[in-house]
Every structure is written in structure tokens, then in C-alpha cells.
Homo-oligomer: A and B are copies of this chain.
Amino acid sequence: MGKRKENSTNLLNESYIMESCDLTYAICKIGGRWKLLILCKLENGTLRFSELRNQINGITERMLTLQLRELEKDGLVKRTVYAEVPPRVDYELTEIAKELVPIWAKLSKWGAKHKILVSEF
């Protein structure tokens, strides 16, 4: 998000892990603080920047921008800019991201169940 240091142990470890484990790779792509919330909001269709901002409690414009940029770079979100003033930018899920939706659904279900189980102990 800021630039990362090249050749830090940290970065090397991350690279190694992403290479050696497709699962880690997958989850890294959606691992930012707000990414999943953003992706979930987009499940039902296109939204513009301000709509996302308003639907996600607590996110700052900076964070929203950063997370969207990464999602875009990673091919999960498509960004469309309209040449209007005031500006208008739309975001939507890519095909690749849509493939994830049914998997998310299961994970989400697991999360809900697990949340209860753990909080009950």
C-alpha cells in the first residue's frame, strides 16, 4: 500500500509462501482489511465510489481507494471512469471474482457457525 522494501525477509517469506501454497495466494488477494466488505457490496452489481463509501461504515476515502486499487490490480474488480464532471467512477466484480462467490458463500456460512461456537465456550 505504501511501497514495500525490496529484499526484506518479510517480502521474501511472503513470496515463498504465495508460490508454495495456492491457498495462501488466493487468500492474500482478498486479505486486506476492507477488501471482502467491498467485494460483498459489489456482489449485487455495479456501485460507484461514493456508494461504496456510504455503505461501508468507518472506511476512509484513502482506504477505499487503496483497497480498490489493489483489487483492480489483482483482477478482481473492474473500474470504469466516465468523462463527466463531477467525476463518476463505477466498480464491479470481474468474471474471476464472480467465480469466487459460491466459495465465499460457504466460507461465510462456516464463519457464522464458527463465530457462535467460539463465543460460546
A interface vs B, CB < 8 Å?
12-14, 16-17, 20-27, 29-31, 33-34, 36-37, 40, 57-59, 74-75, 96, 99-100, 103-104, 106-112, 114-115, 117-118, 121
Contact = CB atoms under 8 A, between A and B. Distances in A.
A99 to B, nearest CB: 6
Nearest to A112: B22
Query: Interface residues of A: mostly helix, strand, loop or mixed?
Result: helix
A114 B26 contact: yes
A47 B107 CA distance: 25
25 contacts: A13-B58, A16-B58, A17-B33, A17-B58, A21-B40, A21-B108, A23-B40, A23-B104, A23-B107, A23-B108, A24-B37, A25-B114, A26-B107, A26-B114, A27-B31, A29-B111, A31-B31, A74-B118, A75-B118, A99-B110, A100-B107, A100-B110, A103-B106, A103-B110, A106-B106
A119 B102 CA distance: 24
Copies, count: 2
Contacts of A103: 103, 106-107, 110
